[in-house]
Amino acid sequence: MTGVLVLAGTPIGQAGDAPPRLAAELSGADVVAAEDTRRLKRLCADLGITLSGRVVSYFEGNEQARTPVLLEALLAGERVVLVTDAGMPSVSDPGYRLVTAAVEHDVRVTAVPGPSAVLTALAVSGLPVDRFCFEGFLPRKAGERGRRLAALAAEERTMVFFEAPHRTEAALAAMAEALGGDRPAAVCRELTKTYEEVRRGPLAELVAWAADGVRGEVTIVVEGSGGAPALDTDPGTLRAAVADLEAAGSTRKEAIAEVAKRAGLPKREVYDVVHR
């Protein structure tokens, strides 16, 4: 019999938010794989439990090398519990490689649901929650970040992003440029912690707020476009729309595809107009 991989959600702030099953899974695990073993030790102290199984580190730097070792334990019938610093493993955190390996070898994968920064920020943002998408961390390089955001300019769903505090101002400025400074958004900082703060307003206003510096864990929620306006199909309008998207950071191919979608035309037709 193979073992079981348990993805255990951990608190994003207060230890009291830990699900009741978390303590039982940690104390009964054969192996606990932790993104930060020091944080795991503090979490266990907060939960009042003692670990009986082996503890190994499992973070971005050793994830590729450590995955086969943990898979071997699973195939030997052991119960492996994976925890990250906060939230659910594999969601912008280590875990995806191990889950994929376990699934490929018919190992059961289950989870202990826990607090989620994505859902918490979405709920308190005051923005539409009926449809949303999670975009994780934006690229660090300005050009790549601009292209990613340009591709999201017509996204109708509410968007949720993670961001490092020291890059928050730059990220908000890039969003304002690509999505419009009047686009409603919310910056959620230190969710569920002592200094929790939620700043709501148009992106341009949030850029000015972030200029004074931002601290702590940051989640950004941005309202969707509500649907991009349809484009006229005359050649001049099509060429101008492609040029605008390229100026915002999109590649020529991405810009043509987006304009074709908005104009209701085949991509080849827009391509021909642009290169005529």
pLDDT (0 to 100) of residue 233: 84
Residues 115 and 87 sit within 8 Å (Cβ to Cβ): yes
List, in sequence order, the alpha helices (H) in the chain. 20-28, 37-47, 63-75, 96-104, 117-125, 142-151, 168-179, 203-210, 235-247, 252-263, 267-274
pLDDT (0 to 100) of residue 230: 63
Mean pLDDT per 10-residue segment, the chain (276 residues): 94 90 96 96 95 95 95 97 93 91 97 93 95 95 92 93 96 94 96 94 96 94 78 86 85 88 86 90
Largest alpha-carbon pair distance within the chain? 71
pLDDT (0 to 100) of residue 91: 85
pLDDT (0 to 100) of residue 244: 86
Strand order in the sheet with 184-189: 132-137, 158-163, 218-222, 184-189, 197-202
pLDDT (0 to 100) of residue 246: 85
pLDDT (0 to 100) of residue 261: 80
* Structure-token pair, residue 130: 């009926």
CA distance 159 to 143: 20
Sign of CA dihedral 48, 52, 58, 63: negative
Q: Cα dihedral angle (191, 195, 198, 202), rounded to 10 degrees?
A: -130
pLDDT (0 to 100) of residue 229: 58
